[in-house]
Amino acid sequence: MDRTYIKDLKENIGKKVKINGFVQAIRDQGGMVFLIVRDQSGFDQTIVKKDTEGAFNIAKDLTLESVIEIIGTVEKVEQAPNGVELKIEEIKVLSKAVPELPIPVIEEKSGGETDVTKRLDYRWIDLRKPEKKKIFEVWTELEKGFRNYFYENGYTQLYTPSFMKTASETGADVFEVKYFEEKAYLAQSPQFYKQMAIASGIEKVFIMGPVFRAEPSFTTRHMTEFTGWDIEISYIDSHEDVMDELERIIVSGFEQLKKSGIEVEVPSTPFPRITMEEAKEKLENAGIKGKREYDLSAEEEIALSELIKKDKGHDFVFLTDWPIGGRPFYHMRYEDNPKLTKSFDLLYKGLEIVTGAQREHRYDVLVSQAKEAGMDLKSLEDYLNFFKYGCPPHGGVGMGPARLIMKILDISSVKDATFLPRDVKRLTP
């Protein structure tokens, strides 16, 4: 007999079916046992009576979260949670759970949620909670929407290495690893390889893969390893072209979410854009003064987003024209104001989710900027060589999709929006 998903039981009233799933709840009424069974499609009530002796005895001995197979007849029962009930004829225990669960799957409404550290220790059980399923539905549909755009607009997907001989940003906050007889670093981004692809003549690139940051941060928005979504595009006139393209990609992702039945507001275009100087002034006028000259604090990001939402009615805002002190050496600068870069961050509901820029593609200028930043030119030799033999003007972005999903679902921590988070103190499970 083929398996039937629980969501399809209503279509099989009066029929004998087989379901598989976890035992979510057990109610022993003496002469009958009610089991709430859950699979990935939903949950439903099942019942076995004493006169079905073999199945009844198995049911009485079950534990919560055991995995079972049930064969029975679907009956319409108005008072049942889904309007149908499965009358059990046979039960097979596929995997019996230890009686005492380390964390509950169904939290007591009055008790609040289990401590996050313990939940993450038992992440595979934590993820059995029905409400957690939506996190990965959003991941799947959002990526589908992004990919739809990439496939329809001439992008090539690349798979870049995580081991690098040279740190991919400024050299700070990188994981150093022993690589046979020499040192290597885990990539902070695929930035150098995206630019190599552009120099290779691949005009539009997208990459989805792991990113590593050795930041000793203990916030709800930082991890030491996360998934990055990156793009790089050729023959642009400025970073404005990159922002325009990013808007179209994000809209495609949100449209796919909405199409799949996930409640989300598809953003209108263009997104609001404000320079760093204007943002600092706007925040100071609102009585908010940050301590960092070349960046916004988390509090400033939240406040700026709230001001933009009030003024423009938009959840997204581009923060542009960053001073060179807050950007990597390879960001292109304005010719008429070389203290500013043609770069941006994208904030969504008070959180930075994207960093992007037009890159400097002129070899001599790039070497000059690397020297000015105090970079070791010898260690950058391979990277700088990409630009010695002709390279199109280009730009791109790096996105942290977990942060975007965190805000879409109003989750309090980026770790809860991640399958298996890694932070300063967590390497398991």
Within a domain: 265: yes
| Last-in-domain residue among 68, 95, 122 | 95
Within a domain: 101: no
Q: Residue 173's pLDDT is what?
A: 86
Q: 212: burial class by Cβ within 10 Å (0-12, 13-18, 19+)? A: buried
Are 325 and 197 in the same domain? yes
Cα–Cα nearest to 171, from 341, 329, 296? 329
Q: 244: pLDDT confidence band, cut at 50, 70 and 90?
A: very high
How does pLDDT run across 114-139, given as a tens digit for each residue? Answer: 889 999 999 999 999 999 999 999 99
For residue 242, pLDDT over 90 is answered with yes
Are 76 and 147 in the same domain? no
How does pLDDT run across 317-351, given as a tens digit for each residue? Answer: 999 999 999 999 999 999 999 999 999 999 999 99
- Average of per-residue pLDDT across 250-255: 98
Per-residue buried b or exposed e for 152-164, using 16+ beta carbons within 10 Å of the residue's own CB: eeebeebebebeb
| Last-in-domain residue among 39, 74, 95 | 95
- Average of per-residue pLDDT across 248-268: 97
Are 242 and 137 in the same domain? yes
Q: Residue 113's pLDDT is what?
A: 75
Are 87 and 188 in the same domain? no
Calculate what percentage of the chain has a pLDDT beyond 70.
98
Residue 4: φ, ψ to 5° = -110, 135
Q: At 25, list the tokens.
A: 């709840």
For residue 110, pLDDT over 70 is answered with no
How far apart are alpha carbons 388 and 376 in whole angstroms?
Answer: 17
Cα 79–chain centre separation: 39
How far apart are alpha carbons 392 and 233 in whole angstroms?
Answer: 9
For residue 269, pLDDT over 60 is answered with yes
How far apart are alpha carbons 175 and 213 in whole angstroms?
Answer: 7
Angle between helix axes 133-152 and 239-259 (nearest 10 degrees) is: 130
Q: At 176, list the tokens.
A: 């150093």
Q: 112: pLDDT confidence band, cut at 50, 70 and 90?
A: low
Cα–Cα nearest to 91, from 132, 59, 64? 59
Are 73 and 210 in the same domain? no
Beta-bridge mates of residue 47:
34, 87
Within a domain: 426: no
CA dihedral 275, 278, 283, 285 (to 10 degrees): -170
Q: Residue 148's pLDDT is what?
A: 98
Calculate what percentage of the chain has a pLDDT beyond 90.
92
Going by the DSSP 8-state scheme, the letter that residue 286 receives in this structure is T
How does pLDDT run across 52-90, given as a tens digit for each residue? Answer: 989 999 999 999 999 999 999 999 999 998 999 999 999
Contact 211, 422 (CB under 8 A): no
For residue 292, pLDDT over 90 is answered with no
Q: Which amino acid is at 139?
A: W
Cα–Cα nearest to 126, from 417, 363, 358? 417
For residue 386, pLDDT over 80 is answered with yes
Within a domain: 123: no
First to last CA, the chain: 36
Q: Residue 171's pLDDT is what?
A: 56
Are 66 and 138 in the same domain? no
Are 157 and 78 in the same domain? no
Which is more confident, 160 or 107? 160
- Average of per-residue pLDDT across 202-212: 97
Are 305 and 393 in the same domain? yes
Within a domain: 255: yes
Within a domain: 121: no
How far apart are alpha carbons 299 and 279 in whole angstroms?
Answer: 13
Q: Residue 2's pLDDT is what?
A: 97
- Residue 67, domain CATH: 2.40.50.140
| Last-in-domain residue among 95, 119, 142 | 95
Are 91 and 136 in the same domain? no
How does pLDDT run across 359-375, given as a tens digit for each residue? Answer: 999 999 999 999 999 99
How far apart are alpha carbons 82 and 84 in whole angstroms?
Answer: 5
- Residue 226, domain CATH: 3.30.930.10
Rounded to the nearest 5 degrees, what angle is found at the Cα of 57, between the Cα atoms of 101 and 99? Answer: 10
Helix ranges (H only) for 61-97 are none
CA distances for 343 relative to 214, 294, 315, 333, 356, angstroms: 23, 12, 20, 9, 6
Within a domain: 241: yes
DSSP three-state, residue 134: helix
- Domain that includes residue 64, residue range: 6-95
Q: Which amino acid is at 314?
A: H
Query: Total domain count for the chain?
Result: 2
Are 316 and 246 in the same domain? yes
Q: Residue 291's pLDDT is what?
A: 82
Strand extents, DSSP E, 243-402: 273-275, 316-320, 333-334, 337-341, 343-348, 351-358, 394-399
How far apart are alpha carbons 123 and 116 in whole angstroms?
Answer: 10
For residue 312, pLDDT over 90 is answered with yes
Are 25 and 136 in the same domain? no
Cα–Cα nearest to 404, from 304, 321, 303, 316? 316
Are 280 and 152 in the same domain? yes
Q: 158: pLDDT confidence band, cut at 50, 70 and 90?
A: very high
380: left (phi > 0), else alpha (psi -120 to 50), else beta?
Answer: alpha
pTM: 0.95
How far apart are alpha carbons 119 and 62 in whole angstroms?
Answer: 24
Within a domain: 105: no
Cα 429–chain centre separation: 18
For residue 41, pLDDT over 70 is answered with yes
